Chains A and B, each alone.
Chain A
Amino acid sequence: MTPILSISDATKRYNTPDGNVITALDNVSLVVEQNEFVTLLGPSGCGKTTLLRTISGFEDLETGSIQIDGSTVTHLPAHKRPVNTVFQKYALFPHMSISKNVAYSLEVSGVSKSQITTRVGKMLELVGLEGFENRKVNQLSGGQQQRVALARSLIAQPKILLLDEPLSALDKNLRHKMQQELKTLQEEIGIAFVFVTHDQEEALTMSDRIVVLSDGKIQQLGTPEDIYRRPENEFVARFVGEGNLFDGEVTQSTTKGASVTLTTGQKTVVSQSGLKKGDKVKLLARPEDVLIGKSSNTKDITFNGTVDHVNFIGAEYQILAKSKDGTSIKATFRPDVEQRDQIAGVGSDIRLYVPKEALHVITKEKVI
């Protein structure tokens, strides 16, 4: 099956008013399969919105090409591309009723009136807005406007739906609800979604695959688990989720793994292969992998210190501990019923450890 979207070697630069050149996209290549939910994730200015806009046709590529469903669209104007966009602030037409908004793409392409009426009806039903046909945009809540925007961009049956941070204007509860709805909707109608966000949690929840971008380059492309558990560089590790990074040096390397000595002097082993003796590396441990107590394995990383901070966030506790030499470590716990009263207070001594299996080796800082 041909991929629905294939971008190769896309490059795009901007001149800033003060005479500098910014590279928004630097040799980006990306393939999106049919029915896939792909998220472009990164901090602001990373190029994710530019990438989306080159797909929709609002930005022209300097070099590289874009194919949609097998045909090249690199220099096709926006209105001729078989994709539709849900804009960040929805960009609904304020002078039109809801049904007129939804019908817009059908009307400009000359679909018959009766067909428009049926398709608009079906679409509004799909997004749960039956009965709102004659309302004006400003009579709807944010969530409802979001649904109108979805209906409007889906009615012409695009091959890909592009979503530019569509949930950022919603409050947290509604955002969670809409995340679910979007994911369900995507599975239901079975087209590819390319979704832009800076919210890593949102990306992890919804995506089949995530593209992490920074400085116009793809830092990592993979499933949510890949991105979270096995970040390829320090940037991804720090940007997605929280983590503890320990500096160390490879002392011995075999085909089965490697021995690493941390700057604190502790020795541990990791299962990654291909490392070389003398490599400077970082070991990533996610806070939920940091355990309380004394380790029985000498290769686990242990940590003795005092509790600096305790945050209660409902289901779990976050603890920030500091050792005597000034290094700190983050840990999260989900204590069961009996343990709840035994959570260490601020200032008390604490012993923590990370099982060696939970360690992930990072050798690179970032793709540059």
Chain B
Amino acid sequence: MASLETNERRRRVILLGLLTPPTIFLAIFFLAPLAIMVIYSWLEPGLYGGVIWNFYDLNYGRILGWADSKYEKFDLVYLIIFLKSVRLALTTVFISLIICYPAAFWISRMSEGKKNLFLFLITLPFFVSLILRLFAWVLILRPTGFLNQALLGLGIITEPLHIIFTDVAVIIGMTYIFIPFMFLPLYASIEKLDLSLMEASADLGATQFQTFRRVIFPLTLPGIIGGSIIVFIPALGNFIVPSVLGGAKVMMIGNLIEQQFLSARNWPFGSALGMIVMASVLLLLIYYVKIMAREDQMTSAPAVKEVS
């Protein structure tokens, strides 16, 4: 008995040793910044950045409606910017999904070597700085840029298209940078899709569309939702794309937050805006976790065993 107890104790010590570093890591790099944000959002802004340690609810008041003084006034505009960001992020999700879904199917049916090549190509842009890639898009989209010259040259258009510094440019840019994030989870769920299920469906009389709707779509839904969330969250908070490709005329919530922390020197208000974004993202994640739990239950390997 005594040795059993020592073993048990040793096991606990080892477990503690293994779990402590990641816990500390998470606490320092995840929980602490989050806590700072939560606390700052309820404090008074310092005149030159920083905070004054007084409880202050007007940061949220400006966004949600109860602030009404010369300097802290409720304005619907913050919620409008938030909703506009949601709209742009959703459009980005939708377009990248439309592009990635067939692509993932196509690549998952390739030979092993080609597959790896294409997966590598999809992650290739990560090797180049994001800023550089976005400035390349400025060169492509501007009135005298490649796109317009190509279209003019082909006689498809007679006047250059004004894409740069519009919502469309922002959506193009965000779709471009987030495509790998959509592709990989989608690919993971499409690749493990059993081909024989599609044959079974056809065998049972389903047309291709019925097979897609009843078998392929529901089975790849976790990948679709996963990819969508992974794209939606950073797209919602993005501020680099709207400022480079949107010419800062397209303002997203991320730009507003950046502006509060830098030129406006209002950290608490920036934190409060950040908390609003975070709260909505959190709701989304809770939904995601629920879906994933359902998927686990669904796809755990069918047991081919009989107790007769």
Contact = CB atoms under 8 A, between A and B. Distances in A.
Nearest to B294: A95
A137 B302 contact: yes
Contacts of B205: 79-80, 105, 108-109, 156
B200 A87 contact: yes
Interface stretch (A24-32, A112-120, A138-146, A287-295): A138-146
B9 to A, nearest CB: 38
A87 B304 contact: no
A78 interface: yes
Interface residues of A, number: 42
Contacts of B308: 143, 173-174, 177
Interface stretch (B10-18, B154-162, B210-218, B242-250): B210-218
A63 B304 CA distance: 39
Contact of B306 (A83, A93, A107, A142): A142
A92 B302 contact: yes
A56 interface: yes
Given A91-B199, A173-B308, A152 B204 contact: yes
B201 interface: yes
A89 B196 CA distance: 9
B282 interface: no
Given A94-B298, A136-B298, A153-B203, A143 B303 contact: no
A85 B303 contact: no
A140 to B, nearest CB: 8
B305 to A, nearest CB: 5
A169 interface: yes
Contacts, number: 102
Contacts of A105: 204-206
A128 interface: no
Interface string A89-113: 1011111000000001101110000
Contacts of B136: none
A343 interface: no
Contacts of A140: 302-303
B303 A141 contact: yes
A56 B219 contact: no
B306 A141 contact: yes
B116 to A, nearest CB: 16
B204 A84 contact: yes
B207 interface: yes
B219 A95 contact: yes
Interface string B186-205: 00000000101101111111
A79 B199 contact: no
Contacts of B210: 108
Interface of A: 17, 56-58, 77-80, 83-85, 87-89, 91-95, 104-105, 107-109, 136-138, 140-145, 152-153, 156, 169-171, 173-174, 177
